[in-house]
């Protein structure tokens, strides 16, 4: 890669450029459900009046999704912010691989199918069960089940992780009924045994990330692999029963369950079986993949490594090679901001709490584990509390802020990036009161960062990776009216990300730095990369999405 060129007349600020990513904080379009607007946010309000302000796209094709009907998410959002360009992301890549049949022509698919046909064993599908298109899509599952049947597979088990987070909070039965009808039709002209075998809420089992709570993965292992747990005759019976017993619990938090015929569970995973984890997004797929693949494993009592053929929809960690086998090649992201700055000798800090630590490191760096240069980069993970987010909506914002303020004052770093997880993680609970506290907690912390940046004569950039807290109720976007639940008379809660734009504020307290908004229109969050490079005194690469700001050539800095 070619090195960055220094800007001819602007050498960067005296202090650091600080990029603050307010995860899940967008610009609402339905007023009643916009908790960001409802919250008391004097610092965000002040930035809107005193900083350069722009709106950026954070969903759909602007971040590499198949269409503009697709919401953005934290993974692809940080990819876009960190690499400065738009890459086709997992959902689009899998769609294309199924449409052109490259997925089914690949060696890994053939190996898994040949294994179960040869041994008359079972093919297992495990993953997030919805059409949210953030981690997975039920269309992909159905396409693979159809192809498996056509290639002679007689037995298949589907292990469903209930969503209620990227889709309506109690929509699980819609997907269960769809799949059951699909399987019934599939069986009509073939002697096959394809069935749902186990399940549970995505925030209860299997889909932990960043090794925050291996207990989730252990519960998933017992449920999916060992077939241990509370048994029901069908997924519908399980979900209806668990909802009656837990009336305030949404799908993502429902307890695990096993489907049984008589006394025997339908889908224990056994030697000579094949397993496909069909999520295309990586962060919540890595740990279960490790449990299947690692020869030595000490995170929980797994037992001897199973003799199964295991594959992911994609490779979830290209550096650690997790998993070893995968069906679709992930996006080839290169030349990220972090790598460019390391090559230019710029000292960097990346920090967040566990829930988003991988986003400001792994995803920001183009799905790359580790650092580009140990001597120039520091990564700080603040351990997240293992409690429901609505019970502690301030999360670790204060602790992150303590470390960021210290870092700004240290004069050690020229570029600092941080993520406040509150707006997204609490937003997913669907509880507006908790979300309001979460947004206000972040605003309080932002006040301290603004003060530190002013004192250091740095430059502050505040934006987001996607919306969530700005859209807490289901809404008719044509009229702007909230949709009410006929039974309760209350607004229908929304736990998914929004399709709304996000703000970008750029604030330079040094009066000698003269900035203006660039002439480029309809920019997305990928423009934040070129923006930060511009503010650091570099010319962004030609193929980066243009910066949202321009520096007046008459600007004078102290460097």
Q: How far apart are CA 56 and CA 97, in angstroms?
A: 30
Q: How many helices (H) and strands (E) does the chain have?
A: 17, 22
* 137 is a domain residue: yes
pLDDT 10s digits, 117-164: 999 999 999 999 999 999 999 999 999 999 999 999 999 999 999 999
**DSSP per-residue codes, 467-508:** -STT--B-EETTTTEEPBPTTT-SBPB--SPPS--EEEEEE-
Q: For residue 556, what pLDDT is reported?
A: 60
Q: For residue 307, what pLDDT is reported?
A: 97
pTM of the model: 0.86
Q: Are residue 132 and residue 169 in the same domain, yes or no? A: yes
3 state DSSP class of 106: coil
pLDDT 10s digits, 21-64: 999 999 998 889 999 999 999 999 999 999 999 999 999 999 99
Q: Are residue 515 and residue 460 in the same domain, yes or no? A: yes
Q: Are residue 84 and residue 97 in the same domain, yes or no? A: no
Q: Are residue 67 and residue 134 in the same domain, yes or no? A: no
Q: Are residue 343 and residue 483 in the same domain, yes or no? A: yes
Q: For residue 557, what pLDDT is reported?
A: 60
- The answer, yes or no, to whether residue 553 has pLDDT greater than 70, is no
From residue 325, how far is each of 284, 343, 518 by CA, in Å? 17, 32, 45
Single out the residue in 328, 350, 371 at which a domain terminates. Answer: 328
Q: One of 74, 130, 526, 555 is an active-site residue; which one?
A: 74
| Mean pLDDT value across residues 256-266 | 94
Q: How far apart are CA 386 and CA 392, in angstroms?
A: 10
* 456 is a domain residue: yes
Element (H, E) at 21: strand 17-22
Single out the residue in 328, 351, 372 at which a domain terminates. Answer: 328
Residue 74 annotated among the catalytic residues of the structure: yes
Q: Are residue 44 and residue 184 in the same domain, yes or no? A: no
Q: Are residue 245 and residue 361 in the same domain, yes or no? A: no
Give the percent of the chain with pLDDT over 90. Answer: 90
Q: What's the domain range around 411?
A: 5-88+337-491+498-551
Q: How far apart are CA 389 and CA 94, in angstroms?
A: 32
| Mean pLDDT value across residues 325-335 | 94
Give the rounded distance of the alpha carbon of 453 from its chain centre. Answer: 29
Q: Are residue 157 and residue 213 in the same domain, yes or no? A: yes
Q: For residue 476, what pLDDT is reported?
A: 83
Single out the residue in 296, 328, 360 at which a domain terminates. Answer: 328
Q: For residue 559, what pLDDT is reported?
A: 46
pLDDT 10s digits, 279-323: 999 999 999 999 999 999 999 999 899 999 999 999 998 888 999
Q: For residue 263, what pLDDT is reported?
A: 87
Which CATH number do you get for residue 199?
3.40.1450.10
* 412 is a domain residue: yes
| Mean pLDDT value across residues 428-439 | 96
Q: How far apart are CA 400 and CA 380, in angstroms?
A: 9
* 485 is a domain residue: yes
* 558 is a domain residue: no
* 556 is a domain residue: no
Q: How far apart are CA 471 and CA 492, in angstroms?
A: 11
Q: Are residue 274 and residue 224 in the same domain, yes or no? A: yes
Average pLDDT, the chain: 95
Domain tally, the chain: 2
Q: Are residue 129 and residue 62 in the same domain, yes or no? A: no
* 557 is a domain residue: no
Q: Are residue 421 and residue 322 in the same domain, yes or no? A: no
Q: For residue 554, what pLDDT is reported?
A: 64
Q: How confident is the model at residue 190 (pLDDT cuts 50, 70, 90)?
A: confident
* 283 is a domain residue: yes
Which CATH number do you get for residue 42?
3.40.720.10
Q: Of 84, 86, 60, give the one whose Cα is nearest residue 73.
A: 60
Q: Are residue 450 and residue 369 in the same domain, yes or no? A: yes
Q: How far apart are CA 376 and CA 342, in angstroms?
A: 7
Q: For residue 552, what pLDDT is reported?
A: 85
pLDDT 10s digits, 80-116: 999 999 999 999 999 999 999 999 999 999 999 999 9
pLDDT 10s digits, 439-498: 999 999 999 999 999 999 999 999 999 999 999 999 887 787 889 988 888 899 999 999
């Amino acid at each position: 890669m070619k090195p960055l060129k220094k800007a001819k007349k602007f050498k960067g600020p005296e202090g650091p450029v600080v990029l603050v990513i307010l995860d899940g904080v967008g610009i609402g379009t339905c007023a009643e459900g916009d908790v960001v607007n409802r919250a008391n946010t004097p610092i965000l309000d002040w930035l809107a009046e005193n900083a350069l302000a722009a709106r950026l796209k954070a969903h759909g094709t602007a971040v590499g999704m198949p269409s503009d009907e697709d919401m953005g998410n934290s993974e692809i959002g940080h990819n876009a912010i960190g690499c400065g360009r738009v890459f086709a992301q997992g959902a689009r890549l899998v769609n294309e691989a199924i449409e052109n049949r490259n997925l089914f022509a690949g060696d890994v698919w053939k190996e898994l199918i040949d294994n179960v046909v040869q041994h008359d064993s079972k093919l297992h599908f495990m993953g997030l069960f919805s059409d949210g298109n953030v981690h997975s899509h039920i269309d992909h599952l159905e396409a693979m089940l159809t192809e498996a049947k056509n290639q002679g597979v007689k037995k298949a088990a589907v292990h469903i992780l209930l969503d209620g987070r990227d889709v309506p909070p109690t929509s699980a039965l819609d997907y269960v009924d769809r799949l059951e009808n699909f399987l019934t039709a599939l069986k009509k002209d073939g002697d096959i045994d394809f069935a749902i075998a186990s399940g549970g809420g995505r925030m209860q089992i299997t889909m932990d990330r960043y090794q925050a709570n291996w207990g989730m993965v252990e519960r998933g292992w017992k449920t999916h692999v060992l077939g241990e747990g509370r048994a029901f005759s069908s997924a519908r019976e399980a979900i209806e029963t668990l909802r009656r017993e837990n009336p305030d619990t949404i799908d993502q938090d429902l307890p695990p369950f096993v489907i049984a015929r008589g006394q025997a569970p339908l889908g224990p995973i056994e030697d000579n079986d094949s397993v496909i984890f069909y999520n295309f997004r990586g962060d919540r797929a890595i740990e279960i993949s490790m449990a299947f693949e690692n020869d030595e494993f000490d995170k929980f009592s797994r037992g001897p490594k199973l003799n199964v053929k295991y594959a992911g929809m994609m490779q979830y960690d290209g550096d650690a090679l997790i998993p070893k086998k995968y069906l679709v090649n992930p996006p080839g992201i290169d030349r990220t901001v972090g790598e460019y700055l390391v090559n230019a000798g710029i000292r960097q800090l990346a920090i967040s709490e566990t829930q988003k630590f991988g986003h400001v490191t792994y995803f920001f760096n183009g799905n790359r584990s580790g650092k580009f240069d140990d001597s120039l980069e520091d990564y700080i993970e603040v351990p997240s509390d293992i409690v429901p987010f609505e019970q502690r909506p301030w999360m670790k914002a204060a602790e992150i802020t303590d470390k960021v303020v210290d870092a700004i004052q240290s004069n050690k770093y020229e570029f600092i990036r941080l993520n406040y997880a509150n707006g997204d993680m609490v937003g997913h609970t669907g509880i507006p009161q908790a979300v309001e506290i979460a947004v206000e907690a972040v605003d309080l912390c932002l006040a301290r960062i603004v003060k530190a940046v002013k004192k250091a004569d740095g430059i502050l950039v505040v934006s987001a990776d996607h919306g969530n807290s700005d859209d807490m109720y289901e809404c008719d976007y044509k009229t702007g009216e909230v949709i009410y639940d006929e039974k309760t008379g209350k607004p229908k809660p929304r736990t998914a990300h929004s399709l709304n734009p996000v703000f970008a504020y750029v604030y330079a307290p040094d009066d000698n730095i003269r900035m203006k908004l660039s002439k480029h229109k309809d920019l997305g969050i990928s423009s934040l990369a070129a923006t930060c490079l511009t503010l650091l005194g570099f010319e962004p690469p030609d193929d980066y999405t243009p910066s949202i700001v321009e520096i007046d050539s008459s600007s004078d800095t102290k460097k």
